[in-house]
Amino acid sequence: MITLSVVVPVRDGERFIGDALASLVRNARRDFEFLVVDDGSADGTASVVEDFHGDLPGLSVLRNPAPVGLADARNLGLSLASGRYVTFMDGDDWLAPGYLARLVEAIDGLGCDFVRVDHVQVEGRKRVVHRAPLARRNSVRDPREGILPADVRTMVDYPYAWAGVYRRSLGDLLRFPGSLHTAEDRPWIWRLHRLAASFAVVSLAGLFYRRQVAGSLTQVGDERQLHFFDAFELVFKEVEEEYLPKAVRNFCALLAHHLELSGRFPPGLRERFAERGASMVRGLPAELVADAVPRMAEERERVLRALVPEIPVGPHTRPRRDREEA
């Protein structure tokens, strides 16, 4: 019987996939399975993965002849997973030895639907631990408690699918919106916290996340960046009224962040991104936008007012608390 399924989507990951799989070798157990989804790679990824068949027990390789995107690559792995639990790892990241066993121990011990963890962000030689926002650890809670308050960083601002372990019995709650090629984790984390029954956070930081890797979606300035808006349209379509202030602030803070970095976009895409951003802000409840924007960091407020000049300027009733993680 399989205890844990690890879904590893990768596309053109020849440079790093060997490190990722080597870290899985150091985590392997007979009751673990590893589902590598090669999403139409055009480099030597397939050859590197093939070399691990003798070293990584439980390895299965799924190949898409043409790329379908991260969301559907993960969904393919999910559809073939057989473990009681499931977790994710991207093909350019790696795990500390024994990390997966500790994930299983945590969710087994707590008995909840999903467990979220910290992670280590890697930029060159620099290592920084990023903590999941909930301060109370090792305590089973209602996932809806991880959404509010609106003006501080909460669990829906920490969307990384690979920073946790999930009961596979959650079924469709674990599936990602296949129409999205970026920001697919935003509606995913909102749905999980709105509809699952229980969760917990534990102090475990064993996944090493490579940031600013050339070719990753966070670094690519093409049409896929517009899926950020599609992702939040899904959030706004589903979210209950009580959580709308948080969703509005979440969207506005991230929009400002993307606009600050929009120099990486070609001019035409930059213009379309700004136009769509302005249109979405104007379509949100004006009172919620007016309440959220003045509490952001001054630079983000300036960027949003330049985009939508009619945002009302009101007194700051509370300190600025711009803590959303971009």
284-297 pLDDT per residue, tens: 999 999 999 999 99
Per the structure block, which two tokens stand in for 263?
């120099």
Q: Say yes or no to pLDDT of 314 above 90.
A: no
Q: Say yes or no to pLDDT of 213 above 80.
A: no
Question: Rounded to whole angstroms, what are the CA distances from 2 to 6, 31, 125, 314?
Answer: 11, 5, 36, 57
Give pLDDT, residue 2.
Answer: 98
Alpha-carbon distance of 323 to 326, in angstroms, equals 9
Say which CATH class 4-210 falls into: alpha beta
Average pLDDT over residues 288-311: 95
pLDDT tens, position by position, 254-264: 999 999 988 88
Alpha-carbon distance of 128 to 121, in angstroms, equals 5
pLDDT classification of 313: cutoffs 50, 70, 90: confident
Q: Say yes or no to pLDDT of 214 above 70.
A: no
Q: Say yes or no to pLDDT of 319 above 70.
A: no
Q: Model's pTM, two decimal places?
A: 0.93
Give pLDDT, residue 265.
Answer: 87
Average pLDDT over residues 53-57: 95
Q: Average per-residue pLDDT in the chain?
A: 93
Alpha-carbon distance of 223 to 229, in angstroms, equals 12
Alpha-carbon distance of 14 to 92, in angstroms, equals 9
